[in-house]
Each structure stands twice: as structure tokens, then as C-alpha cells.
Amino acid sequence: MTLQHRLQDLLKEGQALTDFEYDEAARQQWALEGARIQEEARFSDIYIERVDKESEEMIQTESPSFLNTPLTYVKSHQKEFIYIESKWFDVVKVDGLAIEWDEVFQTYTVLFGLKRPKKDTGFLRELLSKWNGAQLQFNGQDGLFDVNLPLLELEDIREEMSFIEIISAVYRCLFRLILQLENNESKNGSQS
């Protein structure tokens, strides 16, 4: 199912879309109409865990108010990563996001599994190459790509931003990435 169809289905279910989604849809000449929601309000149903990096055991679940915490939290709590799930990540073919401070590369990273067919490897590598330090590996066991992106390489992301701002920016980035992948597919006449 394409991004356009996923958005149409959400509107049919009575869900609201963000200005960003409507703007991107208009650029693609998709006729989408329905309710609007602020990006920050979009993720009010979010599930958040603080997780121990070494054992991968949950330390604690957090309420949505934790999203107001600045990204620097993971730098000052380097033994943890923040795991985040939202039904809205389904739109961009991602189950959840893990945000952490990478001690080796001294940078903030977001890790996620991207549900795309293996045949997308070449084009996906090409798209990710614009971000220094981006890593991509196809995980045959799960049938998805393991993606690791340095957060400060992504457009509009700064260290002092809150997790909700980071999540919204990552969502916009993934939305555009999926759009490029789907446009490449239709241009090449293949369907997934």
C-alpha cells in the first residue's frame, strides 16, 4: 500500500493529518481533504521507554510529558536509550525509534527498522548517502532494513530540541524518504 493510500485510509478512519502531510500531498497532486492536527499533538498516544543499553532491559516507561525533555538527556544518561512507538510510524513503514548518544562516534543517533523490500537497497543507500555516518543493513531474519542515522545530520535538528521536536523532524524526514522510494518505484514501473 502506498503512502497516498495510507493517508487516505487514515482520513477515512476520521484521523487528522498535519499541515506537513497536506503540503507534501499537494506537491504530489494527491487530493486529500480532512481534519488537521498540530504535529506535536499527533504523537499524544506515544509509548516511551527508557532502556538500559547493555542489557536492553526496560528501566521505566514514561508519560508523553517526557517528550518535552531535551535531546541532551541521552548524552547525560549515556547508559540508556529512549525507545518510542506510535501508530503514526506505520505511515512511514517504521515500528519504533531508538534514540541514543553514540559514545564511539560522539553523536546522537536514531535507529529504526524500515519495512521495505531488499531490492530497494541500492536506491536507499543512495538516498541515505547525503547524511554523513548513515548506516544501512538489510536484516533478512526480520525482512527489514536496520537504519542508523546521526540526528544532527538531519534537516532542522539541533541538540537543544525536545524529543517531540526530534520525533516530528525524523517523521518528516522518513515521510520524504518513503515518498522518494515510492516515486522511484513508479518511475521504474515496479510495484511492492
pLDDT in tens, 41-84: 888 889 999 999 999 999 999 999 999 999 999 999 999 999 99
Which pLDDT value is given to residue 109?
A: 97
Instruction: Give the model confidence (pLDDT) of 97-113 as tens digits.
Output: 999 999 999 999 999 99
Average pLDDT over residues 142-151: 94
Which pLDDT value is given to residue 80?
A: 97
- The helix (H) or strand (E) run that includes residue 116 is none
Name 148's Cβ contacts closer than 8 Å, sequence gap at least 6: 109, 110, 111, 134, 135, 136
- The helix (H) or strand (E) run that includes residue 157 is none
Average pLDDT over residues 84-101: 95
Q: Check whether 125 has a pLDDT greater than 50.
A: yes
Q: Which three cell numbers stand for residue 27?
A: 506537491
CB 182 within 8 A of CB 92: no
CA distance 40 to 18: 9
What are the φ and ψ backbone dihedral angles of 78, each rounded to 5 degrees? -70, -15
Residue 74 burial by Cβ neighbours in a 10 Å radius (0-12, 13-18, 19+): buried
Q: 121 in helix, strand or coil?
A: helix
Which pLDDT value is given to residue 189?
A: 67
Average pLDDT over residues 87-99: 95
